[in-house]
Structure 1
Amino acid sequence: MLYRNTLVFLQRLQQAATNGNFHYVSGETDFDGYVRLAKKFSTAYETELSRQTKLRRRRAGEASSTLYAVRLSIRADQDGKIPVHWILVASSGVGRVHEREKLKDMRERKTRLVAGSGRYQLVHDGRTWSWRLSHDAYNRYVERIHRIASLPPDRRRTAEIDGLLRDADAEKLLDELYSEPGFRLVRRQIGKLVSDLRREWTRLRPANGPKLSERTFLAYVRFLPNERCGDLSAVPDLSPQIDRRELFRIAFGCD
């Protein structure tokens, strides 16, 4: 299935791992390429079978497969095409998908499943499957925290927010941190990053300077219904930031 909403895409992959679909292969294409790929996989691996049928086959020792995909951008490229990221997942068992595809195992550290252009990584921490920020994405936040907190006075920018003087760069960073999807392990990482920011702020900034705003906790992502992508050429021309805020509103039920 091709999704408009990246959060739904991530949720379905998390569910797939929870249900024992540990093997995968992934790639990128455009919408037309995705349509052809979906037909190919449906014919070869019966990816469009119902969940009940796939469950019965897994219990009989057969492998089942499902195709997930999401658009990588809401804007068409210079050739008028919208890029699509696809992931074919499969369960263990006997089946052509294991014979024909070079499947990776998401349970292995070196071949963990990543999504969001490498931003998120699906892991099992001994409790459940959950998405977390990848090491690179997490470390980029760490670097930004130190860089913003340690800016010299002549490079600091301020802005008035709700009648109070705030540091513009720090508030932008907090906005981004609290816009991350609230999966369990991501929430844990965001909590640590915010604590690091406040600690660095206290250590490096003057006590009489702008304070960091207080934020509520990052809410859990509630279960989202499927939303298929039809004709991607009909997608409205929105900016990436507007799209990000809209996904956040849908995910967390904000008005």
Structure 2
Amino acid sequence: MQRLQQAATHQHFFYTSGRTDLAGFDRLTKKFADVYGTELSRQTKHKRRLAGEASSLLHGVRLTTRSENGQRSVDWVLLVSEGRGLVIQREQLQDLRDPHSRLKSSDQQHELVHDGKTWSWRLTHRSYNQCLDRIHRIASLSPDRRRYIEIDGVLRDADAEILLDRLYAEPGFRLVRRQVGKLVGELRRDWRRLRPSNGPQLSERSFLAYIRFLPDQPVINGLTHAERRQAFLSAFPDQAGTPMARGHG
């Protein structure tokens, strides 16, 4: 999600996307690199854009679900800037700036938008309204349907705490953070209005942290570098000081 946001910020407004398995993504990576130059250096792409040519980026994320052949699935997005090129001719590209074709996350819960200031991810209207409905249902539950748990020796409402856990686990993009703040505020207002002051109260939470910049994790033979390193250490635990174990292999 962070990489897609960065691509949009650098004017890669057009995209196409899909889902495949690891083997299919490997073939797609090689094909797009050969035909569309997705793996050219940043400087080369910049020069081509200055010359009026389109530049392309390919990003993928592995999912927990598996394809029919048992492999892990990969959601991929090809992003393209304005300009000339085969990618413009061959691919059916959608425009990030069109409200009817906004790019959504793999779970379909978030969408990439420009709010007049910059590009950021936010909860979709559907996801946001589902959270609002859940807030109102939880706060208005009748006493016989309320569930309680003890957290650090304090009695809390189980459903409310589960919802707060989910909200504070959201990715901390600027617009998502703003939405989470509004949702938590709504929950606290409903709680004061509908729940007794002498009953279990909502736990205090720290603010939703901003997204940190994370490095890319290229996949080679179905494994990221971190996964290959872990596999190496599992097979050779006495080699912790080797270049591979130090992250240079």
Q: CA deviation at 1:25?
A: 0.3
Letter in 2 for 1:47: T
Q: 1:112 aligns with which of 96, 99, 102?
A: 102
Letter in 1 for 2:148: T
- 2:116 is equivalent to residue 126 of structure 1: yes
Q: 1:103 aligns with which of 88, 93, 97?
A: 93
2:243 aligned partner: none
1:19 aligned partner: 10
Greater than 2 Å deviation, 4+ residue runs: 75-79, 228-236
Unaligned runs of 5+ residues in structure 2 are: 229-249
Letter in 2 for 1:161: I
TM-score, with length taken from structure 2 = 0.87
Q: CA deviation at 1:230?
A: 3.3
Q: Residue 130 of structure 1 contacts residue 185 of structure 1 at CA under 8 Å; is this kept in 2?
A: yes
Letter in 1 for 2:177: R
Q: CA deviation at 1:118?
A: 1.1
Q: Quick one: higher RCO (CA 8 Å, sep 6+), 1 or 2? A: 1
1:38 aligned partner: 29
- 2:167 is equivalent to residue 177 of structure 1: yes
- Could you tell me the percent identity over the aligned residues? 60
TM-score, with length taken from structure 1 = 0.85
Question: Could you say what secondary structure the match of 1:206 adopts?
Answer: coil
1:156 aligned partner: 146
Q: Larger radius of gyration, structure 1 or 2? A: 2
Q: 1:91 aligns with which of 59, 81, 88?
A: 81
- How many residue pairs get aligned? The number is 226
Question: Could you say what secondary structure the match of 2:172 adopts?
Answer: coil
Q: 2:132 aligns with which of 130, 135, 142?
A: 142
Q: CA deviation at 1:77?
A: 5.2
Question: Could you say what secondary structure the match of 1:117 adopts?
Answer: coil
1:45-84 correspondence to structure 2 within 5 Å: 45-73=36-64, 76=66, 79-84=69-74
1:224 aligned partner: 214
- Greater alpha carbon shift after TM alignment, 227-236 vs 215-224: 227-236
1:230-249 correspondence to structure 2 within 5 Å: 230-232=220-222
Q: Residue 82 of structure 1 contacts residue 232 of structure 1 at CA under 8 Å; is this kept in 2?
A: no
Letter in 2 for 1:213: S
Unaligned runs of 5+ residues in structure 1 are: 1-9, 237-255
Q: CA deviation at 1:233?
A: 7.0
Q: Residue 21 of structure 2 contacts residue 67 of structure 2 at CA under 8 Å; is this kept in 1?
A: no
Q: RMSD over aligned Cα, in angstroms?
A: 1.6
